[in-house]
Amino acid sequence: MEPVSSGTNRSGQLSRQQQGAGYELIARRHLEQAGLIFEAANVRFRGGELDLIMRDQQRWVFVEVRYRRNDRFGGAAASVTRQKQQKLLRAAAIWLAMRNASFDTLDCRFDVVAITGNQLEWLPDAFNAED
């Protein structure tokens, strides 16, 4: 039988995946407190992943969660590059298509929750397909 990993590395620290899941949970709770409804997390497609899918009344909200220890290289929000945005747009389009929908048929937006150090910044409608 294979040993089951505790999820920590040799120094006893959390893995990157566990850390990411923790920051996504912080973001999810923040958004839920703001009134958004959780739908799904970590939806993966070839070439992209949707960290959180939420609802804001009738609008679908695709949320990218980013964490940076400090802002030495621009902070968490700056790490959502145009290339990353394109991956998110493609993943969301696939997710919508699986539901027989598209950006043209449903109201959608793309938010970023950027956590730099201990500072959380929520950027609603951070980018869209027309940018």
Could you tell me if residue 67 is inside a domain?
Answer: yes
Residues 99-127: tens digit of each pLDDT:
999 999 999 999 999 999 899 999 999 99
Separation between Cα atoms, residue 9 and residue 12, nearest integer Å:
5
Domain total of the chain: 1
Separation between Cα atoms, residue 9 and residue 21, nearest integer Å:
16
Mean pLDDT of the chain: 88
pTM of the model: 0.85
Could you tell me if residue 43 is inside a domain?
Answer: yes
Could you tell me if residue 63 is inside a domain?
Answer: yes
Strands 119-127 and 48-56: unpaired
Q: Is-contact 49 66, C-beta < 8 A?
A: no
Could you tell me if residue 1 is inside a domain?
Answer: no
Q: What is the largest CA-CA distance in the chain?
A: 52
Reported residue count of the chain is: 131
Locate tokens 């409608």: which residue?
125
Q: Indicate the burial class of 86 (C-beta count within 10 angstroms; 0-12, 13-18, 19 or more).
A: middle
CATH of the domain at 43: 3.40.1350.10
Could you tell me if residue 11 is inside a domain?
Answer: no
Q: For residue 64, what are the domain limits? A: 16-126
pLDDT band at 70 (very low <50, low <70, confident <90, very high): confident
Could you tell me if residue 73 is inside a domain?
Answer: yes
Residues 80-96: tens digit of each pLDDT:
999 999 999 999 999 99
Could you tell me if residue 45 is inside a domain?
Answer: yes
- Position 3 pLDDT exceeds 70: no
